[in-house]
Amino acid sequence: MVLIKDQLNRNLTINVTPKRIVCLVPSQTELLYDLGLEQSIVGITKFCVHPTHFKSTIQIVGGTKNIKIEKIKALNPDIILCNKEENTKEIVEACKNICTTHVSDIYTIKDCVLLINQYGEIFDRKENALEIIDKINFNLKDFKNFIKDKPVIKVIYFIWRKPWMVAASKTFINYLLELNKFENVYKELERYPEIDIKEIATQNKQIIALLSSEPYPFKREHALEIEKNNIKTVLVDGEMFSWYGSRLIKSFNYFKTLRQNL
């Protein structure tokens, strides 16, 4: 029996190790795979793109905010994994009526480590979880040594177009921007506000606009729209800035390369 609180501080009692998992969070699906749980995953979302073969081998139950609840019920899951940001409150409530539902809530690497530890306990993969955490911590320490003498760079992190939206404070993205010594121009705002790109022309011209590959797939033609406002742009891998779990093992080397190329 496992007694834990999920990251919404809800008490969960898990009497038997879950053997049938539905995961509604792309980065957590990747984490499950890296924990060695592929054979236990029975349902994922259409956005769970890593590992790539899952889309053809595992039942897709909709999107992160538009699930097919009857498909989930038919899979007879033992546990459903959600995230406060990725999934709506209504989705979580509906899933709770099917089986045990664990909800993550991620803002920092400490939160990520807690989640990995919890999955290690819930799914009897403690050694696998510890291995992933050790790799994350090793790469994080190395990155902190790399970044400590680098100058602070002002950035705007775009996540959407029409309307133009950016990542602001109280997000995991903003936490990783700070770790990279990127000063978020919109750090005084919260979550994912809409902005007027014409207004950024009045900002300091040393600002760099980071255009994420997700959730909106920014391309070079979109960068040109922003560059008309005299702002430098860089296309960045959104998974490195917003996926937690085992993806963090790869993120810090990516951040090194990004900084060296600016």
Residue 185: name the closest of 167, 172, 164, 161 by CA.
167
Q: Read off the pLDDT of residues 62-109 as tens digits, 9 standing for 90 and up.
A: 999 999 999 999 999 999 999 999 999 999 999 999 999 999 999 999
Asked if residue 201 has pLDDT above 80, the reply is no
Task: Considering only residues 139 and 262, tell me which one the structure prediction assigns the higher pLDDT.
Answer: 139
Q: What is the mean pLDDT of residues 243-255?
A: 96
Instruction: Return the HEC string of the chain.
Output: CEEEECCCCCEEEECCCCCCEEECCHHHHHHHHHCCCHHHEEEECCCCCCCCCHHHHCEECECCCCECHHHHHHCCCCEEEEECCCCCHHHHHHHHCCCEEEEECCCCHHHHHHHHHHHHHHCCCHHHHHHHHHHHHHHHHHHHHHHCCCCCEEEEEEEECCCCEECCECCHHHHHHHHCCEEECCCCCECCCECCHHHHHHCCCCCEEEEECCCCCCCHHHHHHHHCCCCEEEEECHHHHHCCHHHHHHHHHHHHHHHHHC
Instruction: For domain 2-124, give its CATH number from 3.40.47.10, 1.10.10.10, 3.10.580.10, 3.40.50.1980.
Output: 3.40.50.1980
Asked if residue 205 has pLDDT above 70, the reply is no
CATH homologous superfamily of 147-261: Nitrogenase molybdenum iron protein domain (3.40.50.1980)
Q: What is the mean pLDDT of residues 249-257?
A: 97
Q: What is the mean pLDDT of residues 227-234?
A: 87
Q: Read off the pLDDT of residues 30-53 as tens digits, 9 standing for 90 and up.
A: 999 999 999 999 999 999 999 999
**In whole numbers, what is the pLDDT of the chain averaged over residues?**
95
Asked if residue 210 has pLDDT above 80, the reply is yes
The Cα 87–Cα 96 span in angstroms is: 13
pTM: 0.94
For 19, 50, 112, 157, the CA distances from 37, given in Å and listed in that order, are 9, 13, 18, 34
Parts of the chain belonging to CATH 3.40.50.1980 = 2-124, 147-261
What is the percent of the chain with per-residue pLDDT over 90, rounded to a whole number?
91
Q: Read off the pLDDT of residues 183-195 as tens digits, 9 standing for 90 and up.
A: 999 999 999 999 9
